[in-house]
Amino acid sequence: MWMMRILDGRLNGYASYPVIEFMRFGLHCLFVVALVVLAVVLIVRALRHHRHGPGSPMEAPPASPATVGALKILNERYARGEVDDETYRKMKDELLKP
């Protein structure tokens, strides 16, 4: 009698279709893998943001060639001592202002 139930696709009165069970298991595994990948991506992004900070050069827009040249000159003047710290910071902020 129990052999007939197995062949009929029923075991203990419950429908047991191996293909549907396999698909349900496969979708469950796919969902878990997707959650793990999403968690890893979010952790990496959070660590990268924390390491570089919100005002880091990594997030700054690319500067124009004129701005790069002006910053180079400003850095050289600062290195030679022609510009003090406060003036250097103000001029640099002005050059990097969007």
The string of pLDDT tens digits covering residues 43-89 is 998 888 776 655 555 555 666 888 889 999 999 999 999 999 999 99
86, 69 contact by CB (below 8 A): no
Q: What's the DSSP call for residue 16?
A: -
| Whether residue 92 sits in one domain with residue 65 | yes
Question: Are 77 and 48 within one domain?
Answer: no
Q: Do 79 and 85 contact (CB within 8 A), yes or no? A: no
Tell me: do 31 and 74 sit in the same domain: no
Q: How many domains does the chain have?
A: 2
Both 11 and 31 in one domain: the answer is: yes
Summarize pLDDT for 11-47 with one digit per residue, the tens: 555 555 666 666 667 778 888 899 999 999 999 988 8
* Alpha-carbon span 69 to 71, nearest angstrom: 5
**Number of neighbours of residue 10 by Cβ within 10 angstroms:** 13
- What is the pLDDT averaged over residues 1-5? 46
Residues 70 and 95 in one domain: yes
Task: Give the domain extent around 27.
Answer: 1-53
Q: What is the CA radius of gyration of the chain?
A: 32
Same domain, 74 and 48: no
